[in-house]
Amino acid sequence: MNEPVALPAPVQSLAVRVAIIGGGPAGLMAADVLSSEGYDVQLFDAMPSVGRKFLLAGRGGLNLTHAEAMPAFMSRYGGFAEELSTAIAQFDNEAVRRWSSELGQNTFIGSSHRVFPVGMKASPLLRAWLNRLQGSDGRKPVRFHARHRWIGWEGGDWVFDTLQGHRHFTFDAVVLALGGGSWARLGSDGAWVPLLEGRGVGVSPLVASNCGFDVQRPWSDHFRSRYAGHPLKSVALTVLSAPGADPDQALFRRKGEFVATDTGFEGSLIYAASAAARAQLAAHASAHILIDLLPDHSLERVLLEVAKPRGSRSLSTHLKSRLGLDGIKAGLLYEVLSPETLKDERALAIAIKALPLVLGASRPLDEAISSAGGVCWDALDGQHGLKALPGVFCAGEMLDWDAPTGGYLLTACLALGRKAGQDVHRYLQAQLAVSRPT
């Protein structure tokens, strides 16, 4: 497992120009932009080290971005593509690869078109990035403050809770990059929500995204004990637009794989479908899905094989022999279908191609890979500054957007951090121009 990267010791300063609050990818990228412009940048993080969620994401291989061509890449952001388009157009998937290479970490495109550092690990990239932020390229170093949790304001001061008590700072501009609400133990706890709402900033509730779901009817003890943790490979998942709706009008349909859990499902294909499933849970208190257990077979072929005489063989042996259906796939059929349906050749074939299940709830927010919701886009001005708090900018996952895993989340966080840094630079330059004597 990647080891946490310790922050440098804080440097005392009487004059602070720009603060970055939050040491994830978005905050670090904003700091990178602003330090390259020569600003006095200080970065504050509540944790003992920066990039903890970044390091966790790289535990099994750091998926930096996806090599999918535009505009298909942008379509992965669903209804938030327009809001994210400016930032990502200026720092797209190719730019992410160049950035990684500049930090000495060349990348490659995997078989799924996901992009990884050659070494696969997050630690070398993060270390090189922190080294640059500390002035290795001759720029003015960013000054880091570990274990500084922002807790609000007192008068015009920004107040941080530290091991030494409360500390007060004043800034000319601030970038908030505090993350969403998932993985609180790594720093993304959503504690900033009431602070901003108290200052009149609109915030959409934080909800779980890229998360597992519980089935509405709990698994039987037999299924749970035998198949929890087993993967469903080479299947297709459909999320219906409403109970009983036409599958051709589905909200989501994609081929992939996922895993059965003690209470339902999780895994990459489920994560990709989470936005659609979440919408159905909000609208109907349930999400109706179909699982195609044999997406490479037509219904006609499945029916043909099911209907062939099986003699004295059991149905499970017949399905394994004729269609390769065994293990968890066969287990799901027996778990979901009635004995009458299992005996009806046509009904069984239809179920193999579209096994109906109902999801009853998403897993808790703190278990999710990411969160949706956050600072509303209409709370921002044209430069991602908060209308209610001039000079305060937002970046990363604390904004209201959503994306699947596969590199899309990290790309958007980096792009939004970069844009926030550029927006702060423009803001400060405008302030400087106003203050100059004519």
Sorted by where each begins, the domain ranges of the chain are 5-208+371-435, 213-362
CATH T-level assignment (fold) for domain 5-208+371-435: FAD/NAD(P)-binding domain (3.50.50)
- Beta bridge partners of residue 207, listed in sequence order: 372
pLDDT for res 9? 42
What's the burial of 221, exposed, middle or buried (CB within 10 Å: 0-12/13-18/19+)? exposed
- Between β-strands 18-21 and 173-176, what pairing exists: parallel, antiparallel or unpaired? parallel
Q: What is the DSSP string of 162-211?
A: ETTEEEEE--SEEEE----SS-GGGT---THHHHHHTTT--EEEEEEES-
CB 314 within 8 A of CB 325: no
Report the C-alpha gap between 33 and 423 in whole angstroms: 10
Report the C-alpha gap between 27 and 395 in whole angstroms: 7
Residue percentage of the chain with pLDDT more than 70? 95
CB 133 within 8 A of CB 35: yes
- Beta bridge partners of residue 287, listed in sequence order: 359
Strands (E), 363-407: 370-375, 385-386, 389-394
Q: How many CB atoms lie within 10 A of CB 342?
A: 16
Asked if omega into 231 is within 30° of 0 (cis), the reply is no
pLDDT for res 10? 38
Per residue in 264-276, pLDDT (tens digit) is 999 999 999 999 9
pLDDT for res 436? 61
Per residue in 129-158, pLDDT (tens digit) is 999 999 888 888 999 999 999 999 999 899
Comparing C-alpha atoms, which of 197, 97, 88, 111 is closest to residue 152? 197
Measured between alpha carbons, how far is residue 56 from residues 15, 63, 126, 310 in Å? 35, 11, 12, 50
Name the least confident of 68-77, 122-131, 133-142. Answer: 133-142
Residues counted in the chain: 438
Confidence tier at 437 by pLDDT (50, 70, 90): low
Mean pLDDT of 37-55: 92
Mean pLDDT of 271-288: 94
Contacts of 109 (CB under 8 A, 6+ apart): 67, 115
CB 208 within 8 A of CB 369: no
pLDDT for res 288? 97
What's the burial of 295, exposed, middle or buried (CB within 10 Å: 0-12/13-18/19+)? middle
Mean pLDDT of 160-167: 96
Report the C-alpha gap between 29 and 45 in whole angstroms: 14
CA end-to-end span of the chain, whole Å? 58
Q: Is the pLDDT of residue 381 over 80?
A: yes
What's the burial of 400, exposed, middle or buried (CB within 10 Å: 0-12/13-18/19+)? buried
Q: What is the mean pLDDT of the chain?
A: 92
pLDDT for res 3? 47
What is the three-class DSSP state of 62? Answer: coil
CB 346 within 8 A of CB 356: no
Q: If residue 345 lies in a helix (H) or strand (E), which one and from where to where? A: helix 345-353
Report the C-alpha gap between 162 and 164 in whole angstroms: 5
Report the C-alpha gap between 426 and 414 in whole angstroms: 19
Q: If residue 135 lies in a helix (H) or strand (E), which one and from where to where? A: none
Mean pLDDT of 363-384: 92
Q: Is the pLDDT of residue 393 over 60?
A: yes
φ/ψ (deg, to 5) at 266: -150, 175
Residue with the larger pLDDT of the pair 353 and 135: 353
Taking the CA atoms of the chain, what radius of gyration do you get in angstroms?
Answer: 25
